[in-house]
Structure 1
Amino acid sequence: MILALLAATTLAQAAQTPNCATGDAGAACRAVAAGNAGRFAEAAPEFEAAASRAVGADRDRALAAAGNMWLAAGEPAKAAVALDQALAGTGLTGLQRGEALIDRARVAFEQKNYAVARARLSEAQATAASDPFYWYFSAAVAIEEGKLDLARTANGRALNLLPSDPATLVQAGDLALLSNDRAQARERYRAAAAGSDAFAREAKDKLARLDAAPAASAPAAPGKASAPAPKSKAPPKR
């Protein structure tokens, strides 16, 4: 789940038209257009330029969107700078702040700093607990922390909120294998394989490997799951 383009409605009224102004005045418009087209590395600096012209909440939202775009572009260090600046302000509140904190946790995850990832998730819980990805990602971090009971609890919360999500079902199957529960793993992988995205394809592959391996030689788990980009609230997001 990638963070929504927080500045879209407040900074980019011009994005409703195909043409954007030149210079910093059109930065927000260009940022939204680039983000919508999946050109994340192009969108991120445009959001930063928009933030340089804005104040208060508009500035913080633009920086959060820049951080989100840097993260989507595979630039976690740049994402961390923008997100830390956004979170240092007071303009992000409620779910917006929670989503920015999740993105900051995702940056830490990519950098293998699981302590920071957990700390940012703990901050986000008060405002982002209604987001299924919050719990899915919390489970992914817990797996890396070696806290499998916490991972199973978080995965269960994610499934309660979004029971047919292939990514969460694959994660549930992986967790079942960590307990050597092959029947439960098959059930979860089969449910995930009913979809059509990359996680459904992953589920089909894992199911085939599981069915082909004798019970005695099957691995305890197929490996630690990474934290994929969440379903997009913005193009293509998350």
Structure 2
Amino acid sequence: MMLLLLIAQTIAPITPSPPSAGTQPVDSIEARYERCVDLATGNPPEGVIEGTGWRANGGGFYARQCLGIAYANQAKWVPAAQEFEAAAQEAEVARSTRAAQFWAQAGNARLAAGDTAKARAALDAALAAGTLVGLQRGEALFDRARTMVVAGDLESARIDIDQALTLAEDDPLIWLASAALARRMDDLPRARKDIAEAFRRSSDDPSVYLEIGNIAAFAGDADGAKSAWNDAIRVAPSSEAAASARDALKQFSDAPPQP
């Protein structure tokens, strides 16, 4: 029997970067920034109001980043990306090293919006700056790898994901993506190894169970695939991963469990 293979998509979170000294007193910038980001995360519509007002009164790229966070937390990905891009451009003019962080956030938002071409351009700019290090660089490499997968450039995606794993090895989403990529590249041992790492870090994620089922299906293990897809439904019945698992289980005569 040909088994159905389904791939889970993941979106990395948008995170703020704290301000540094500029033309305003540091305390003033930090206090305004913290207030704006608190609203952007806790009450996003109010965050938009706060960020818009601050931007109009000289808030510069920090106000734009705050606006981007507020829009992202409402899943308004296009305006979020536009604000992050504007923040990056203003930061470049100001010769601020924060520009790379803003480009990375823009790329993440463009990915969430489904615009992989603009996401790739933003992430290329973020990584080319050379100022992203550690976890931030790892997450940007991961996002760029996702744009490469969409473009069908799996070899380049593998290079970026392998680098991302060395910098952000505690992120289960990168291990999950690495496992799915290995499966697509017909590397079953690597797929099994990496999904085990994802499971070790996030055993309650339905997307991990979904991919365990995909890998089992790829290996021709129908019972293993059914078991894992049923687990995805059990763990989070209302999730997108559970919906994908239900679709995969339709190829079998036995119905999936009801939530």
Residue deviations 1:130-166 (CA, integer Å, cap 9, x gap): 1111111001111221212211211111112112211
Question: Kindly, what percent of the aligned residue pairs are identical?
Answer: 33
Q: How many residues align?
A: 213
Do residues 159 (structure 1) and 168 (structure 2) align?
no
Do residues 188 (structure 1) and 228 (structure 2) align?
yes
Provide the residue aligned with 1:209 in structure 2.
Answer: 251
Q: 2:77 aligns with which of 40, 44, 48?
A: 40
Distance 1:137 1:111 in 2: 15
RMSD, aligned α-carbons: 2.1
Answer with 145-154 or 110-119: which moved more.
145-154
SS in 2 for 1:209: coil
1:88-99 equivalences under 5 Å are 88-99=128-139
Is the CA contact (8 Å cut-off) linking 1:143 and 1:151 kept in structure 2? yes
Do residues 149 (structure 1) and 204 (structure 2) align?
no
Give the number of the structure with larger relative contact order, counting CA–CA contacts within 8 Å between residues 6 or more apart. Answer: 1
Distance 1:121 1:161 in 2: 17
| Amino acid aligned to 2:72 | G
Provide the residue aligned with 2:145 in structure 1.
Answer: 105
Give the superposition deviation at 1:92. Answer: 1.3
| Structure 1 segments unaligned to the other structure (5+ residues) | 214-238
Distance 2:16 2:204 in 1: 30
Normalising by the residue count of structure 2, what TM-score does the alignment of the two structures yield?
Answer: 0.75
Provide the residue aligned with 2:24 in structure 1.
Answer: none
| Structure 2 segments unaligned to the other structure (5+ residues) | 1-9, 21-32, 40-45
Provide the residue aligned with 2:27 in structure 1.
Answer: none
| Amino acid aligned to 2:77 | F
Change (3 A) 1:121 1:91: same
Distance 1:165 1:33 in 2: 26
1:172-187 equivalences under 5 Å are 172-187=212-227
Residue deviations 1:61-100 (CA, integer Å, cap 9, x gap): 1110011111111111111111111111232111111111
| Amino acid aligned to 1:5 | I
